[in-house]
């Protein structure tokens, strides 16, 4: 037994004395593809609607609320799923967000929002996290689909065109400043800027 372990240790320590360079290079290459592919597949799986709504916290609260809104139910059949708005598309930002999401695993294990009441009580805090994130990245996830340069103000309503051509155009405001609660219900908004 000990002999066997000693042998494997020798192979692992200096593999090039036992295997050819080509074998090691190819092996490394193939293993690299497999591990990287696997990693990305799992990462992408955590971006799917099935994964997000796999927990009752998401399925019974925010997912139900989403279904009434224009981002889920509309004439043209384009739909924004959870990750389209809540997970950055760029790789580094995505990994950073996924690491933050480990807190959500913690919350799931300890039932932080395991009932509707708990969720309602925490709604403001959770919403504020998302507002802060979108404010900091200039509403990047909105802009992944809604491009300011492509907006035709003449096709917008008067009020919309007025706001978009001034505050948004100058960069004073970003999407989330006005468009809060477009995909989920709002928390108690007392004291939030831009609300009564």
Q: Each residue of 107-134: b (16+ CB within 10 Å) or e?
A: beeeeebeeeeebeeebeebbeeeeebb
Residue 183 contacts residue 80 (beta carbons within 8 Å):
yes
Residue 177 makes contact with another protein by CB under 8 A: no
Comparing CA positions, the residue from 167, 194, 191, 166 lying closest to residue 180 is: 194
Which range of residues in 23-31, 37-45, 98-106, 186-194 is near another protein by CB under 8 A? 186-194
Residue 128 makes contact with another protein by CB under 8 A: no
Show the binding pattern over residues 76-115: x = contacts another protein (CB under 8 A), - = does not: ----------------------------------------
- Return the structure tokens found at 135: 């404010």
Among 70, 132, 136, 145, binds another protein (CB under 8 A): 70
Show the binding pattern over residues 135-174: x = contacts another protein (CB under 8 A), - = does not: ----------------------xxx---------------
Half-sphere exposure of 167 (CA within 13 A, CB side): 11
Taking the least distance from each CB to another protein, the nearer of 148 and 195 is: 195
Residue 58 contacts residue 52 (beta carbons within 8 Å):
yes
Among 69, 112, 114, 137, binds another protein (CB under 8 A): 69
Q: Which residue has the tokens 């967000």?
A: 97
Residue 196 makes contact with another protein by CB under 8 A: yes
Taking the least distance from each CB to another protein, the nearer of 69 and 114 is: 69
Among 113, 139, 174, 187, binds another protein (CB under 8 A): 187
**With left for phi above 0 and alpha for psi between -120 and 50, is residue 58 left, alpha or beta?**
alpha
Q: What is the closest distance, in whole angstroms, from the C-beta atom of residue 195 to another protein in the complex?
A: 5
Q: What is the closest distance, in whole angstroms, from the C-beta atom of residue 73 to another protein in the complex?
A: 10
Residue 126 makes contact with another protein by CB under 8 A: no
C-alpha–C-alpha distance, residues 114 and 37, integer Å: 34
Supply angle C-alpha 142, 147, 150, rounded to 5.
155
Which residues lie near another protein (CB under 8 A)?
68-70, 157-159, 181-182, 185-189, 194-196
């Amino acid at each position: 037994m000990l002999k066997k372990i000693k042998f494997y240790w020798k192979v692992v320590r200096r593999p090039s004395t036992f295997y050819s360079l080509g074998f090691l290079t190819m092996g490394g290459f193939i293993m690299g593809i497999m591990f990287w592919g696997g990693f990305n597949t799992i990462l992408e799986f955590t971006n799917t609607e099935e994964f997000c709504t796999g927990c009752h916290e998401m399925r019974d609260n925010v997912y139900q609320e989403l279904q009434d809104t224009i981002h889920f139910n509309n004439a043209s059949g384009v739909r924004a799923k959870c990750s389209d708005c809540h997970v950055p598309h760029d790789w580094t930002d995505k990994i950073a967000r996924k690491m933050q999401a480990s807190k959500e695993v913690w919350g799931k294990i300890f039932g932080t929002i395991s009932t509707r009441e708990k969720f309602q009580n925490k709604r403001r805090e959770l919403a504020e996290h998302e507002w802060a994130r979108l404010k900091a990245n200039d509403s990047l996830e909105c802009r992944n689909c809604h491009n300011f340069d492509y907006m035709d103000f003449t096709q917008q309503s008067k009020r919309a065109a007025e706001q978009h051509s001034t505050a948004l155009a100058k960069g004073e405001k970003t999407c989330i400043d006005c468009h809060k609660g477009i995909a989920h219900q709002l928390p108690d908004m007392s004291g939030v800027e831009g609300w009564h």
